[in-house]
């Protein structure tokens, strides 16, 4: 057999072993770090899509909104544990007796997602302790459940050290 043919067979064998190794490694990584869907109830949410949009429009028409320096972007989030303060209002008046939560998410993975519940500290003013693991862009979603319905807002925020 010609030496160049032997080199070609060796090269093909090395490529074959490399492809098999890469496939095994890819399958191993994919099965060891499974990420579930972003929304756990995505199917039910999809079925209620029109109703959810109508409810958000209703809550906006009623004048519901959130106010916070960190949520509007005038004061950045900090990394680490922090206390967030938020004003929930309707047409300029404070809203009391609401159930308010926050969820911060990284877009690439849900391994670092964090949630916290706000507690009422005075009429319309809510406070929560939240830990942001590291700096970068985070999607923050605030959920409020009031006697008039459910209201949520999302913003892209930057956390700094």
Contact 126, 84 (CB under 8 A): no
Q: Which two tokens stand for residue 60?
A: 């906006």
Per-residue pLDDT at 41: 67
Contact 78, 160 (CB under 8 A): yes
CB atoms within 10 A of CB 83: 9
| Domains of the chain (ranges, CATH numbers) | 55-160 (2.60.40.10)
Task: Please state which of the ranges 1-10, 25-34, 91-100, 120-129 shows the lowest mean pLDDT.
Answer: 25-34
Over the stretch 111-140, which tens digit does the pLDDT of each residue have? 778 888 899 888 888 998 888 888 888 888
Mean per-residue pLDDT over the chain, rounded: 83
């Amino acid at each position: 057999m010609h030496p160049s043919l032997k080199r070609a067979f060796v090269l093909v064998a090395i490529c074959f072993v490399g492809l098999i190794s890469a496939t095994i490694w890819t399958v191993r990584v994919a099965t060891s770090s499974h990420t579930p869907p972003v929304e756990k109830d995505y199917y039910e949410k999809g079925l209620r899509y029109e109703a959810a949009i109508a409810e958000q429009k209703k809550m906006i028409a009623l004048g519901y909104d959130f106010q916070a320096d960190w949520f509007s972007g005038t004061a950045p989030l900090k990394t680490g544990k922090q206390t967030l303060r938020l004003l929930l209002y309707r047409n300029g008046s404070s809203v009391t007796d609401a159930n308010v939560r926050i969820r911060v998410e990284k877009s690439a993975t849900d391994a670092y997602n964090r949630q916290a519940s706000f507690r009422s500290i005075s009429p319309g003013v809510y406070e929560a302790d939240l830990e942001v693991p590291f700096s970068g862009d985070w999607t923050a979603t605030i959920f409020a459940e009031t006697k008039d319905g459910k209201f949520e807002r999302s913003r892209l925020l930057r956390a700094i050290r």
